[in-house]
Amino acid sequence: MRLAEKQLEWQIGGWKLGLTLCPGIWMVGVGWDGNPSSFAISLPFMHLWCEHEGGKYWPWEWTILRMVVGKQEFRTDLALNYWCIGIKMHETDDWSIHLGPIDIECEYDKFYDDDRYTVPAAHLRLFSKARELCDCELEDIDHPER
C-alpha cells in the first residue's frame, strides 16, 4: 500500500527542483550525485532536491549484503553520497533504515527474483529462486553501458 504523498516539481533554467511531502519520511540527511548533478536534503515529512543534466558519474553506492527469504528482500547498502539518520517508507512493502552512509532496505515482492544488480555482493537465498534471464538481459550483462 502506498502512503499518501504530494510531489511538486519546478523547472528554473537548466535546473529541476522538487519537493516530496510524505508522512513516511522520518529522517534527516543530505545526499548528492554526479549524473545528473544533484543535491538533496531530507527532513521529517519532506524531501527537497535539485538536479541539473550533465556531470560525471562516479559509483558512490555498493550493495554489501543481500538476503532473500521467499519474496522478502533485505539489502544492506553503503552509500558514501547519502548521509542520513532515520526511517523512510513511501510504501508499506518498501521501507529503509538509514544510519549515516549505511542503508538497510526491506522490500517485499519487488526485485527478489533479480540478482543482476547485487552481483558481486554477498547474498543468501532461502526458499526463493532467482528468475532465469532472457537473452537480451544476458547481453546487457556482457556489454554494460558506459
Q: What domain range is 111 assigned to?
A: 6-142
Mean pLDDT of 104-122: 75
Q: How far apart are CA 45 and CA 28, in angstroms?
A: 10
What tens digit of pLDDT does each residue of 55-76 get? 777 788 888 888 888 888 898 9
Residue 80 within any structural domain of the chain = yes
Q: How many domains does the chain have?
A: 1
Task: Give the pLDDT band (50/70/90) at residue 133.
Answer: low
Measure the CA–CA gap between 45 and 12, rounded to whole angstroms.
24
In a domain, 36, yes or no: yes
Cβ pair 74, 96 in contact under 8 A: no
Helix (H) or strand (E) holding 22: none
In-domain check, residue 13: yes
pLDDT at 144 over 60: no
In a domain, 1, yes or no: no
